[in-house]
Structure 1
Amino acid sequence: MLRQPPDRHSAATRPENTVTPAPPPAEAARTAEGLAEDARTAGESLPPDVLRFTRAVRWCHHATGALMALCVGSALFLYVPGLAQLAGRRALMVTVHEWSGLLLPAPVLLGLASRALRADLRRLNRFGPHDRRWLRRARRARRPYPPPGEDWGRDAGKFNAGQKVFAAWTAGAVLVMTGTGLLMWFTGLTPLAWRTSATFVHDWLALAVGVVLAAHVAMAVAHPEARRAMRTGMADRAWARREHALWRPEPEPRHEHGAAHENRSGNGTGSGSGIRGGRRSE
């Protein structure tokens, strides 16, 4: 017995009665996110730049960098024979090295009075699933930056996983270097075995710190927009959307750039709107 083909005009086959399968949750979230962003950007003129670092955060970074440069530079003049002969005044180099190392945590401790710095420190200390994905990509690529044709920005908040690892490692290294340096400075407080061990750890960790800092400077040289953000506080909105897709910028304080920036950016509405709406951000 032959089956009759379904009637195209029957109620079961009408387009309005056809059940459409629901999209996956991730795809639905991306669709809702795109629609929300299109609706937001259609009704307002967003400025081309977003506030990435406040003045307090930038000064904290610059002061820490200056102290680190003094500490590492004086260490070179103390440990490299050729540089030690060139400088000559070893006692002065020792004093500069001791006090620059001792004051190294001071900018961060003073900067804790800034709400923006405290928020950035919380972001640096928080690792999520997107950070693990970023680190897996970096491990497969064997480099801390994406190879041509790959996009890692979708798995980065305000700070990507590489920046978080660098910040955590540097903070731990500074604490260890400060502790071992104090043991070497005040020789009468501890026995000889402690001072010998502290010298061993201090010297080898100093070498590792030098390598990591050189890599940090190289990454800054390779990313001019990141350098501009740390220098001026502002970053290009398209760059932020591409490299830090999970980051939602905070509203821009008026005292950061004043009326000149408002005139350049337009009417200023939406300066605190997110780069990615409807999505968990950092």
Structure 2
Amino acid sequence: MAPLPDTGARVRRFTRAERLVHRATGWLMLLCLVTAACLYLAPLAQLVGRRHLMVTVHEWSGILLPAPFLLGLLSPAFRADLRRLNRFAPYDRQWLRAARRRLTAPSVRPAGKFNAGQKLYAGWIAGAVLLMLFTGLLMWCGGLLPAISRTSAIFVHDCLAWGITFVLVAHLRKAYEDPEARLGMRTGSVPVRWAREKHSEWLPDDTSAPRRRSVD
């Protein structure tokens, strides 16, 4: 499919509240990962030192990690996007089949406001953060659940931390490869041309306004 002409028209993709939630969550996640690296990787631990400070920052950044999400629930636009992320449409399954076959043409990868990969990522990272918070609290407050040993909590916490690291690196790589998507998260708007190419089920054919649909 030939690229659509760039008319310069733009469409709102994210509100200020949604961008703030994303940014705050990203910074807290980065703090968690950096301080974890300073605690568990010997060369970094020796270079940085100040273990007690690293432990304190790591614990509180982890505890505060759900806070941006909870505050974001005050925004109707944020809640609407959560509903979109939580629903799979028939074209999402088509997107996944095309991704498995490494078909990259937009015409064979239909998507709503969020594609199927973004929906899977959002669900995975939400579950991972909750499990990290739970195991972190078990490590911090010994005896909270006597049936679960602290050693088991540490094992799950550490394994999941590596999983989150790899998934976040993949997420950042995808964002790096799509400057228009990064611009949308930074400014809140994206070109209509990009939206129709990458998220064909989000915009109708005859207008630059997003579709008002219960599932997209």
Q: Which residue of 2 aligns with 1:227?
A: 182
Provide the residue aligned with 1:88 in structure 2.
Answer: 49
Moved runs in structure 1, 4+ residues, more than 4 A?
A: none
The CA deviation at 1:272 is 3.2
Contact persistence 2:8–2:191 (CA under 8 A): no
Alignment equivalent of 1:209, drawn from 161, 164, 167? 164
The aligned length equals 208
How much does 1:87 deviate? 1.0
Q: C-alpha displacement at 1:137, in angstroms?
A: 1.3
Deviation of residue 139 (structure 1)? Answer: 1.6
Instruction: Tell me how far apart the structure 2 counterparts of residues 72 and 207 of structure 1 sit (CA, whole Å).
Output: 9
Q: Is 1:272 aligned to residue 203 of structure 2?
A: no
Kindly provide the amino acid, as one letter, of the partner of residue 176 in structure 1. L
Contact persistence 1:67–1:100 (CA under 8 A): yes
Query: Which residue is 1:119 aligned to?
Result: 80
Q: Deviation digits for residues 148-198 of structure 1, max 9, x if unmatched?
A: xx2257520000000000000000000000000000001133448521111
Deviation at 1:128, TM superposition (A): 1.2
1:57 lines up with 2:18 in the alignment: yes
Q: Secondary structure at the match of 1:155?
A: coil
Q: When the two structures are superposed, what TM-score results if normalisation uses the length of structure 2?
A: 0.90
Distance 2:145 2:57 in 1: 23
Q: For the residues of structure 2 that align with 1:273 and 1:172, how far apart are their CA atoms?
A: 29
Distance 2:130 2:108 in 1: 31
Q: CA deviation at 1:100?
A: 0.4
Percent pairwise identity: 59
How far 1:138 moved relative to its partner?
1.3
Take 1:106 and 1:280, find their aligned partners in 2: how far apart are those partners?
27
1: distance between equivalents of 2:210 and 2:123?
A: 29
Unaligned runs of 5+ in 2: 1-6
Secondary structure at the aligned position of 1:126 is classed as coil
Contact 2:195 2:203 survives alignment (8 Å): no
TM-score normalised by the chain length of structure 1: 0.69
Structure with higher Rg: it is 1
Distance of aligned partners of 1:54 and 1:81 in 2 relative to their CA distance in 1, 3 Å threshold: same
Query: What does residue range 128-277 of structure 1 map to in structure 2 within 5 Å?
Result: 128-141=89-102, 146-147=103-104, 150-151=105-106, 155-191=110-146, 194-248=149-203, 272=209, 274=211
